[in-house]
Amino acid sequence: MFIDRLIDEIKRKNNPTVVGLDPRIEYVPAFLKEKAFKDYGRSLKGASEAIFEFNKIIIDSVFDLVPALKLQSACYELYGSHGIDVLKRTIRYGREKGLIIICDGKRSDISSSAEAYSAAFLGRASIDEDVREPVFDADALTVNPFLGYDGIKPFIDDCKNYGKGIFILVKTSNKSSGQLQDLLTHQGKSVYEILAEHVNGWGKSLIGKYGYSSVGAVVGATYPNQAKILRDIMKNAYILVPGYGAQGGTARDVVHAFNCEGMGAIVNASRSIICAYTSDTWKDKFDETRFGEAARAEVARMRDDINRELGASKICR
């Protein structure tokens, strides 16, 4: 079961953080980029292969410290079929290193199309009546709830059939997330609160040994007050927290998504880790040829930062 595997790995590595592999070509150090351009051309293919080499070094540098990777699908789609090929190879490479792979696709559609997305990311594609093949085979996918339950159900079915998970957007980390998500309904609840009640209900058939469901939620680190409310409404849901680091969320902000025992959430950071070699904290210590070591140092710092804050706030009221 997805959620049990995730929690077991968080416990084993004593680390509730996730590395966001959201690579941009401008993040890739020149020595890797030039080699890929020489081998494959200054093209969509060349950029994709540069990103794959970058990803492998990041994964090699952090796999023993973190439970999971989050891959932003937009960064791969940007390079067309070559980028999608690298998405698939990165997922496979990460899984071979024992990492849990969350694909951040924020997909949603009416049920027949949601079935196709789900088959692609979590399940199997139909080739012919009796032939089915895995495509991306990620462990989990982020899903957008705008279409309501019948856009979510195909993903939940595949979570059951293939031991996978989903994280449903409830309160996103961006500035204008409130425009729709914070609207106050006539019963006095906000849209994100109503969504949270649905998410908690939808997950009831997928609860594992720790009391959490393979149907999780996304709640941005940039909204700590909402995180408190949402943690309380979604008792079953593991919360994926984006927005730590480059987007401005701190350890003090993210603790609200955890329960009083320091469980119930995983925190993602992307740029602050994969571009650590360019940051004020690490750039004097690691030059661009050592970007993997810089990412590792930042992963360890982030883990300790969050665990320290969780320790300080671990009071079960």
By annotation, the residues acting in catalysis are 106
CA atoms of 155 and 162, how far apart (whole Å): 10
The two structure tokens encoding residue 290:
């050592």
Nearer to a second copy, 127 or 316 (CB): 127
Nearer to a second copy, 180 or 312 (CB): 180
Q: Is 107 in the site for a second copy (CB under 8 A)?
A: yes
Q: Is 311 in the site for a second copy (CB under 8 A)?
A: no
R_g of the chain computed on alpha carbons: 19
Please identify which residue in 17, 173, 200, 272 interacts with a second copy, judged by CB under 8 A.
Answer: 173
Q: How far is the CB of 311 from a second copy (least distance, A)?
A: 30
Phi, psi of 56 (to 5 degrees): -60, -40
Of residues 222, 152, 219, the one with CA closest to residue 192: 219
Q: Give the x-and-dash track for 269-288 against a second copy (CB under 8 A).
A: --------------------
Q: How far is CA 97 from CA 56, 62, 66, 91, in A?
A: 10, 10, 11, 10
- DSSP letter for 299, please: H
Residues within window 239-258 making contact with a second copy, judged by CB under 8 A: 242, 247
Question: In sequence order, which residues have a C-beta less than 8 Å from that of residue 224 and are 6 or more positions away?
Answer: 252, 253, 254, 256
Please identify which residue in 169, 219, 233, 274 interacts with a second copy, judged by CB under 8 A.
Answer: 169
Q: Is 77 in the site for a second copy (CB under 8 A)?
A: yes
Q: 155 by DSSP, 3-state: which?
A: helix
CA atoms of 262 and 255, how far apart (whole Å): 8
Please identify which residue in 147, 229, 263, 300 interacts with a second copy, judged by CB under 8 A.
Answer: 147
CA atoms of 266 and 52, how far apart (whole Å): 25
Nearer to a second copy, 13 or 56 (CB): 56
Q: Is 81 in the site for a second copy (CB under 8 A)?
A: yes
| Side-chain half-sphere exposure of 289, counting CA atoms within 13 A | 1
Please identify which residue in 27, 136, 155, 286 interacts with a second copy, judged by CB under 8 A.
Answer: 136
CA atoms of 9 and 3, how far apart (whole Å): 10
Nearer to a second copy, 84 or 299 (CB): 84
Q: Is 267 in the site for a second copy (CB under 8 A)?
A: no
Q: Is 312 in the site for a second copy (CB under 8 A)?
A: no
Please identify which residue in 98, 148, 211, 311 interacts with a second copy, judged by CB under 8 A.
Answer: 148
Q: Is 141 in the site for a second copy (CB under 8 A)?
A: no
Q: Is 31 in the site for a second copy (CB under 8 A)?
A: no
Of residues 67, 72, 56, the one with CA closest to residue 20: 72
Nearer to a second copy, 31 or 308 (CB): 31
Q: How far is the CB of 158 from a second copy (least distance, A)?
A: 13
Please identify which residue in 96, 150, 232, 304 interacts with a second copy, judged by CB under 8 A.
Answer: 150
